[in-house]
């Protein structure tokens, strides 16, 4: 059974940093692209970043480019999102999700399994 479990969310001051983790199980982690998607309270979904299975390629939304870094440790079956220079508008539930197939190009992948999300609150 595929499972994705996010952790690392919490309350952080503006300008601060936080690292989210997503522990994966139930599939060959290194074979699939992974993505982060966020949802501000009461708002819609916003794509944040994607990384290929080999970690050879990463892509970011303009709103987080230069501040967030996606990475993965395939030996630990874990996906990460390092978030720096956090702003109030980064407040959201952050979801990790798995690509639906091994052969899709990262930004063209559908994402078929999602974690339960972890809440990040940026406030003083």
DSSP string, 58-102: EEE-TTTTTTEEEEEETTTTEEEEEE-S--GGG-EEEEEEEES-S
Q: Residue 33 or residue 83: which is nearer to other proteins going by CB?
A: 33
The residue from 13, 85, 100, 102 that contacts other proteins (CB under 8 A) is 100
100 Cβ neighbours under 8 A, 6+ residues apart: 109, 110, 111, 112
Told to check if 42 binds other proteins by CB under 8 A, we report: no
Q: Residue 78 or residue 118: which is nearer to other proteins going by CB?
A: 118
Q: What does the binding site for other proteins look like in residue numbers (CB under 8 A)?
A: 35, 37, 44-47, 50, 59, 61-62, 95, 97, 100, 106-108, 110-112, 114-117
């Amino acid at each position: 059974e595929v499972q994705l479990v996010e952790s690392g969310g919490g309350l952080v001051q503006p300008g601060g940093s936080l690292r989210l983790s997503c522990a994966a199980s139930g599939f060959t982690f290194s074979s699939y692209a992974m993505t982060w998607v966020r949802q501000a309270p009461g708002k819609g979904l916003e794509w944040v970043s994607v990384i290929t299975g080999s970690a050879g390629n990463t892509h970011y939304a303009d709103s987080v480019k230069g501040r967030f870094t996606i990475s993965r440790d395939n030996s630990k079956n874990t996906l990460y999102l390092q978030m720096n220079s956090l702003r109030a508008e980064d407040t959201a539930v952050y979801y990790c999700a798995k690509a639906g197939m091994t052969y899709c190009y990262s930004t063209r992948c559908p994402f078929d399994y999602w974690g339960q999300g972890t809440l990040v609150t940026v406030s003083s």
